[in-house]
Chain A
Amino acid sequence: MTVDSSAIAATAGGSLLPLAILVPALGVLLSFLIGGRRAEWIALGLMPLEFAVAVAIACLVWRSGQPLVYTLAGYAPPLGIALRADGFSAVMLLTAGLIAPAAALYARTNFATPPETEKRAPLVFWTLLQGIHAALSLVFLGGDLFNLYVGLELLTFAAVPLGSLDGRPETVAAALRYLLFALFGSVFYLLGVALLYGAYGTLDIALLAPLVRPEPAVWLAAGLITAGLLAKTALFPLHLWLPPAHANAPAAASAVLSGLVVKGSFFLVVRLWFDVLAALPGVIPGTILAGLGSAAILFGSVLALRQARLKLLIAYSTVAQIGYLFMMFPLASGPWAADAFSGGVMQAISHAFAKAAMFLSAGLVAESLGHDRIAGLDGAARAMPVTFLALGLGGLSLMGLPPSGGFVAKWLLMKASIASGQWLWAIVMAAGGLLAGGYLYRVLAPALSGESPALKKAPARSRESIALALALVALLLAFAPPSFFAFLQIGRPAAGLALQ
């Protein structure tokens, strides 16, 4: 395998890539400079532009059938830093470009700019939301492992305080625990990067991939980087920080944290094993990752069944759904590799939309009833049918019932695991689907029966529609045409992990 010269030279249209990072970053700076009263409008005003850039990048990748490349200041790697967008990056940029505005529109009620005095919570919320968007774009586009480290850290620093905006002790403690796990992850990631640089003298992904050989320094670096990323992705057993941090955050923040932020570090695990370390024999590490994923599916689902609060239940279901993401790794070599890759990516996107819809709905439930105890949900679906429709449709995707993006994801992964003879993963995924059905039944069955309770205030129609729209996107992903899966393969080495 030699260096593909097209991977380090800038392509036409590549100058869109820095825009995807700079526009939200500009929003962060403007929000600080011009002041808190206008942060909301800066964020909302720039979001259509950010989405347009994501669409333009996806169109260009689609049209050329090649990854887009941009070299910063015109210096090609190894001297300079490259930004690259392949099919997977483009799809993740679009996902972030849709979910961030949905969460922002929903949050306008909770974080409205006060008419008189400047308040801290709205300013911080709107600034950090744009910070998360900028960091995610950097993570999805970065072509250099150290540059990706900076993106990963920006993502952590923007995400951690978002969960603790109300300043209650339990949310601050949850944010602190999240930060400590994330810092553990950063140091491991950075140490792995140092070892890789020491071994090969470059950190550019395209230049590194052909140099990598299965030798001790590389295995150690791979283990350190993966462990660090798993701590940030909250894969079992490093998930302990996630449920309190996501469940106690304001609903709009939970949607972004659960839907998008954990996908950022997952994206880098895929980059690492599929692009940087494609030359390593991937069966044993893939089996370890999928084993942890299986444990996450079973453990997260069972704990979700035992929760007393709706938002904690949804947070534990995130722990379980993250497990499915890692099922793609042992299946990534062989004729079924494309199915496994598409399944993993589909799971990342459909979970992002479904979980954002569910957290936004759960926020509406908590605001309308004044609590989110599952025992007190009797008849609530009669009082707010649209909210529970969004919750239920999101749940459909989590269970993996057709028609939903979750169904397509789990179907592709199960198909790949059966085709490769690795039956165990298919059994775990089926069991996870049944358990997901169980914990959703616990919420939906009482909500659909009994007397309609008195609401403190009915949920606003516009906010219900946002949650419903996200759930419908998760549903519509079931109808993704074959060309969508071909799009995901753009920029992928044809053999995947199959080089051993």
Chain B
Amino acid sequence: MTSATLAGLVGAALVGLGLYGLIANPQPLRKILAFNLMGSGVFLVFGIVARKGAGAGLQADPVPQAMVITGIVVAFAASALAVALVLRLFEAAGRATLNPDGWTEPPGDGAGAE
């Protein structure tokens, strides 16, 4: 087994573990961590693609690395947004859970608070 194959398998395993966590964990913060685990797996796969020179047959291909950097920025922004929403939910409801005890009646159109 070459190191590239091994790294690819590890990437696939990370995606699988993250997916399981994203679906199975009830806590939002753990779901966010699981999403980041999945993201790391994908970045690893991108790294293997770069190492193999992709379909272009190059020694090493810089394009996937640029994509990984963009992907990391996007994943960071997504995590920040998700954590901000979890914090906001905790402030508003006193607990951060995705299962509220039922929807309350909306006050009018629902706009205007804050």
Contact = CB atoms under 8 A, between A and B. Distances in A.
A367 B39 CA distance: 43
B35 A366 contact: no
A187 B22 CA distance: 11
> Interface centre among A121, A161, A190, by most B CB within 10 Å?
A190
A198 interface: yes
* Chain B interface mostly: helix
Nearest to A183: B35
A300 interface: no
Interface string A161-203: 1001111111111011101100110110011011101111110
Given A198-B54, A200-B55, A249-B110, A157 B98 contact: no
Nearest to B46: A194
Contact of A175 (B42, B48, B85, B104): B85
Contacts of A405: none
B105 A167 contact: no
Contact of B103 (A167, A248, A251): A248
Contacts of A202: 55-56
> Interface centre among B15, B63, B74, B100, by most A CB within 10 Å?
B74
A153 B39 CA distance: 14
* Chain A interface mostly: helix
Contacts of B48: 198
Nearest to A250: B111
A201 B56 contact: yes
Contacts of B31: 180
Nearest to B37: A187
Contacts of A371: 105-106
Given A160-B81, A370-B108, A190 B22 contact: no
B49 to A, nearest CB: 4
Given A173-B100, A176-B28, A176-B98, A168 B15 contact: no
19 contacts: A121-B111, A153-B74, A160-B81, A165-B114, A166-B111, A173-B89, A173-B93, A176-B28, A179-B82, A183-B35, A183-B78, A184-B38, A187-B15, A187-B18, A194-B42, A194-B49, A198-B45, A200-B55, A250-B109
Interface of A: 110-111, 119-121, 146, 149-150, 153, 156-157, 160-161, 164-173, 175-177, 179-180, 183-184, 186-187, 190-191, 193-195, 197-202, 211, 244, 248-251, 311, 363, 366-367, 370-372
Interface of B: 15, 18-19, 22, 28, 31-32, 35, 38-39, 41-42, 45-46, 48-49, 52, 54-57, 61, 63-64, 67, 70-71, 74, 77-78, 81-82, 85-86, 88-89, 92-93, 97-98, 100, 103-106, 108-114
Nearest 3 CB-CB pairs, A to B?
A201-B55, A169-B93, A110-B111
